[in-house]
Amino acid sequence: MKKNLAILTVFLFSFAFLSVVVGIIEIGLMVLDTEIIANSDPKVMAGLIAEELVSAAIVLIISPFTSAIGLIILLFNKYRARWYFWTCLIFTLPYVFFFPIGTIVFSITWFYLLYKKREFNNNHPVNVAT
């Protein structure tokens, strides 16, 4: 159960990255669309781009709130694997730019993870041959 909560936490933290991927895919699909002509009116093109990026924008707007849920899970979950530590650090990095909620989540997450770093490193001891 603890590992499943860790996976859920990483998924919730990854929403900022997910929105970028969704945006790139949507723009790529728009470029491949044969109905759009390159010589179209700039206002029409701007409207089409805006339509394509709506779902990415929704994910981006929701992501600070999902990361706050992920932070709560992280704080109460006792799972301490090295991969969990590093993925949480990496996936919360973009939230420093989502002021104020994302920045608060970023600060608390990084402080907590760096404060508890030894617990995450000691979970998987390495056997040293003597």
pLDDT of residue 36: 64
Element (H, E) at 115: helix 101-115
Q: What is the largest CA-CA distance in the chain?
A: 74
Write down the mean pLDDT value for the chain.
85
Q: How many other CB atoms are found less than 10 A from the CB of residue 127?
A: 5
Whether 130 has a pLDDT exceeding 70, the answer reads: no
Give percent above pLDDT 70 in the chain.
88
Whether 125 has a pLDDT exceeding 70, the answer reads: no
pLDDT of residue 127: 47
Residue type, 124: H
Alpha-carbon distance values, 5 to 1, 28, 29, 57, 108 (Å) = 6, 33, 34, 26, 18
Residues 6+ apart with CB under 8 A from 101: 64, 65, 68
Instruction: Identify which has the larger pLDDT, 103 or 44.
Output: 103
* 48-82 per-position pLDDT tens digit: 778 778 887 888 888 999 999 999 999 999 999 99
Cis peptide bond upstream of 42, omega within 30: no
